[in-house]
Amino acid sequence: MLQATPLTEGWTVRHEGAALPAVVPGCVHTDLLTAGMIPDPFLGRNEAEVAWVGRREWTYETDLECVDGHEQSDLVFEGLDTVAEVTLDGQLLGRTRNMHRSYRFDVTGLQGRLAVRFVSAYAEAEAVRGKVGERPAAYAEPYQYIRKMACSFGWDWGPTLVTAGIWRPVRLEHWSTARIARVRPLVTVAQGAGQVELAVEVERTRVEAPLTVEATVGGVRARAVVDGTGGVVRLTVPDAALWWPRGYGEQPLHDVELTLRHGDDVLDVWRRRIGFRTVELDRRPDAHGTGFTLVVNGARLFARGVNWIPDDVFPSRVTRERYRERLAQAADAGVDLVRVWGGGIYESEDFYDACDELGLLVWQDFPFACAAYPEEQPLRGEVEAEARENVVRLMPHPSLVLWNGNNENLWGFRDWDWERRLAGDSWGEGYYLGVLPRVAAELDPTRPYTVGSPWSGSWERHPNDPAHGTHHSWEVWNREDYADYRLSVPRFVAEFGWQAPPAYATLRRALPGEELAPDSPGMLHHQKADDGNGKLRRGLERHFVFPEGDFDRWHYLTQVNQARAVAAGIEHWRSHWPVCAGTVVWQLNDCWPVTSWAAIDGDGRAKPLYHELRRLYADRLLTLQAREGSLELAVVNQGAAKWAGAVRLRRMSVEGVVAREVSVGFGAEGRSVARVGVPRELEPVGPKEFLVADADGLRALHFPAPDREIPYPRPQFDVSLTPGGITVTARTLVRDLLLQADRLHPDARADRGLVTLLPGEEVTIGVRGWETPDAEAARSALYCMEPSR
């Protein structure tokens, strides 16, 4: 039987003769932090002080003994970051140059000092650039010349911390006769039965030994003979319960066990979990252009998505528990699709396991983002090798529903002056239209592949044409008002978003001792977007009087503006289902404390946007939309059952006077949108009036003027303590009330975000982690709209 021994103890990391204890898995930065040799790069402007780490060579060492009673011993690295030379007692075992691959070295009978020497990723990238020539990219760092997590080199939300190290587990494997080298599971559904085909590849020490494989799943057992180096086991599971995305059904998972035998001797065992489901991508042309609709088990979905970046710039620090917490936050916000963005990594099994269990669909980018990638060697062979390994590794997970070739590179070629600058040089098209679809079709024909995002499906159209395929909406954030989201109906919005700073307690921890201001040194350092603060300011000034010199007000208003911007897009696009079939917000999470587009900041605190997503992505949503010069109420019902009832429409003044009120019936079938016309006499007149729509505990609001023009009354409300929180009772209109619980205590969390109260209404806000509740303290942490100053 194969025996695996983790190699986690006794490691050191050495640089220029000095050695210090190392944690494996880990990276150089985390080891240096533990040893107190570098400051925390997440704090202040320390990032710049540790830039030297990425420019050095580092060597990890430990003692290794491979004497064992088995015929073969292998040294297995699940991940090396990135360019390394592996030696044992001075003997070269091999060289690596890809963070996204695993490596196996034969060390049978060997022992001595194991050394893994990492060359600077900069040195490798610059050497490859010298060989293949310059390629354009969105950023100046040379990330496109090395198969490494691109955002290690910095991004418009991330620090430049170029890592090195043994970033995934390493182990010794001892085995005899044969071992399971690879299992490729094809899981399908036909006529109500689950079909499992397990293609097994083996590695042998004895060619003549007769081998068999036996598999079990769902109480069904089958076996097959291994012919040479492989075999195929097929099983049928009658009446298999289907795996569904959250909100559509349950997520039953089935244990699969495959055993390799030589006679009665068990040589090796492979175990995974699978789920039975079908997935299609409907890209048929129609009267509106070309669709992009996910279809799971025959059900057509409006995808309620978020983009995922690595949850830490040092990904070895992300534990199974942290993955589960972050993804559970996504599920609790109504998310049903997570896009793993192409500037990061293929995540660990823990990520996909959590998605399987939570019913979160996974859209997986191949790791290419915002750059022209050379197709010459040594990169081309690495790209195919990593794709082959990771496609097979991730295939068992039912949550994985889509392979995507790249992020924004087709768009970049067409619009970012790449075509002229490349002058015929390779730039990655051969990967996205050749290598990757070929590998996906060969190894994993059960899932769709799309060439890139955005991609209109053909070079005959603009790659980012909103009428065809996937669309990235960035002109709004960069240059326009978020109201412009309502000017088009893309078929699938795979990226859009709006910035806001992180929570106040996150800023206080990240910028100790700094007097906070939008343009204070630390705030500017933790704002990586090009003209990010300028865009935040212009976005505010379209709606509010800019709060000069008032950081707390600026912090609150930018949080409000982020939530409102994303709401403007999602409400509009959801109201146009099934023409628009999904929104994927940029972004769910952060990898450090930073002003960014995230809904959950780098310390794991929820911004108001996160709570707003819970409303926007709920099965039922009311939204008031302007259509052809008049108002209508869109009743969005993503649940399976019909939603019928009456909506109460009120035209009100900001002083709280009801000018007009009617009740209108509605009925929205399951997975559909119903539209209810708003009578002309209900439409608000001037900035003093607004419209309220209420039905079944849900509310939609329409204010016809920007906040800076609205004569809000000075907000008046009462605050009282309740078990586990506070209750706020409004005596005037209180718009966008927000309790910033982390101002009460860094560990305090509120259970809701922005809420608007009409006179006489009340809301109870749950608060956990608040050790000494106090009503006046709570009042000081409450923010809302005030009269323009």
pLDDT in tens, 319-341: 999 999 999 999 999 999 999 99
Share of the chain above pLDDT 70, in %: 100
Summarize pLDDT for 46-79 with one digit per residue, the tens.
999 999 999 999 999 999 987 778 999 999 999 9
pLDDT tens, position by position, 144-167: 999 999 999 999 999 999 999 999
Q: Dihedral of the CA atoms 605, 610, 611, 617 (nearest 10)?
A: -150
Name residues whose C-beta falls within 8 Å of residue 746's C-beta, 6 or more positions apart in sequence: 505, 508, 509
Q: Please tell me whether residue 197 adopts helix, strand or coil conformation.
A: strand
Residue 151 and residue 310 in contact, taking contact as beta carbons nearer than 8 Å: yes
**Both tokens of residue 301?**
């979905």
The C-alpha angle 783, 786, 788, rounded to 5 degrees, equals: 140
Confidence of residue 236 (pLDDT cuts 50, 70, 90): very high
Distance CA(185)–CA(200), nearest Å, equals 9
What's residue 434's pLDDT?
98
Cβ contact 309:591 at 8 Å: yes
d(CA 428, CA 146): 13
Q: Are 648 and 699 in contact (CB under 8 A)?
A: no
Length of the chain measured in residues: 789
Structure-token pair, residue 203: 């590695």
Copy the structure tokens of residue 781. 């942490």
Whether the CB-CB separation of 150 and 230 falls below 8 Å is answered with no
pLDDT tens, 402-438?
999 999 999 999 999 999 999 999 999 999 999 999 9
Q: Say if CB 447 and CB 463 are below 8 A apart.
A: no
Domain definitions of the chain by residue range: 3-173, 177-274, 297-501+566-615, 621-709, 717-783
Spatial contact of 165 and 60, defined as CB atoms under 8 Å apart: yes
Under DSSP, is residue 703 helix (H, G, I), strand (E, B) or coil? Answer: coil
**What is the tens place of the pLDDT at every residue in 451-508?**
999 999 999 999 999 999 999 999 999 999 999 999 999 999 999 999 999 999 999 9
Q: Is the pLDDT assigned to residue 124 strictly greater than 80?
A: yes
Structure tokens at 488: 């088009």
The pLDDT of residue 393 is above 80:
yes
Cis peptide before 512 (omega within 30 of 0): no
Q: What is the distance between the alpha carbons of residues 487 and 692, in angstroms, rounded to a whole number?
A: 23
Residue 466 φ/ψ region, left for φ over 0, alpha for ψ in the -120 to 50 degree band, beta for the rest: alpha
| pLDDT tens per residue, range 246-269 | 999 999 999 999 999 999 999 999
Neighbouring-strand partners of residue 473: 496
Cα angle for residues 201, 207, 208 (degrees, 5° grid): 120
Q: How far is CA 322 from CA 143, 149, 325, in A?
A: 27, 20, 5
Calpha distance 727→449 (Å, rounded): 50
β pairing state of 285-286 and 254-262:
unpaired
What pLDDT score was predicted for residue 734? 98
Phi-psi region at 270: left, alpha or beta (left = phi > 0; alpha = psi -120 to 50): beta
pTM, two decimals, is 0.97
Nearest to 364 by CA among 296, 435, 280, 449: 449
Residue 788: the pLDDT is 78
Instruction: Look at the block and give the residue holding tokens 């081309």.
Output: 380
Q: Please count the other Cβ atoms lying within 10 Å of the Cβ belonging to residue 649.
A: 23
d(CA 547, CA 553): 6
Question: Quick check: 578 and 302 in contact, CB under 8 A?
Answer: yes
Residue 578's pLDDT band (boundaries 50, 70, 90)? Answer: very high
At 66 the pLDDT is: 79
The yes-or-no answer to whether 177-274 and 621-709 have a common fold is yes
Q: Are strands 361-365 and 400-404 parallel, antiparallel or unpaired?
A: parallel
Q: Taking every pair of C-alpha atoms in the chain, what is the biggest distance, in angstroms? A: 90
691 within 8 A of 702, measured Cβ to Cβ: yes
What pLDDT is stored for residue 520 in this prediction? 97
Average pLDDT, the chain: 97
Return the pLDDT at 132: 97
Separation CA 145–CA 147 (nearest Å): 7
Pick the CATH number of 297-501+566-615 from 2.170.130.10, 3.20.20.80, 3.10.20.30, 2.60.40.10: 3.20.20.80
Let me know: does 637 contact 674? Beta carbons within 8 Å.
yes
Rounded to the nearest 5°, which phi and psi values hold at 629? 85, 0
* Distance separating alpha carbons of residues 733 and 787, to the nearest angstrom: 11
- The 3-class secondary structure across 154-165, one letter per residue, is CCCCCCECCCCE
Assigned CATH class of 3-173: mainly beta
* Distances 84 to 77, 115, 116, 419, 573 between C-alpha atoms, Å: 12, 10, 6, 34, 48
Do residues 433 and 451 make contact, with C-beta atoms less than 8 angstroms apart?
Answer: yes
Q: Give residue 218's pLDDT.
A: 86
Are 96 and 167 within 8 A, CB to CB?
no
Q: Write the CB contacts of 459 (distance below 8 Å, at least 6 apart in sequence).
A: none
Q: What DSSP string runs through 470-498?
A: EEEE-HHHHHS-GGGGGG---SEEEEE--
Q: pLDDT at residue 789 above 70? A: no
Question: What CATH class does 621-709 carry?
Answer: mainly beta
Provide the annotated active-site residues: 408
How many Cβ atoms are within 10 Å of 743's Cβ, its own excluded?
19
313 alpha-carbon distance from chain centroid = 14
What gap in Å lies between CA 173 and CA 74, rounded to an integer?
A: 5
What is the C-alpha separation between 252 and 357, in angstroms, rounded?
8
Structure confidence by residue, pLDDT tens digits, 702-746: 999 999 999 999 999 999 999 999 999 999 999 999 999 999 999
Q: How far apart are the first and last CA of the chain?
A: 76
Which residue from 525, 608, 603 is spatially nearest to 567, judged by alpha carbons?
608
* Cβ-Cβ contacts under 8 Å for 364 (sequence gap 6 or more): 340, 346, 394, 400, 402, 403, 404
DSSP letters for 331-360 = HHTT--EEEE-TTS-PPPHHHHHHHHHHT-
Residue with token string 């319960």 = 241
Domain 177-274: give its CATH superfamily. Immunoglobulins (2.60.40.10)
3-state secondary structure 390-438: HHHHHCCCCCEEEEECCECHHHHHHHCCHHHHHCCCCCCHHHHHHHHHH
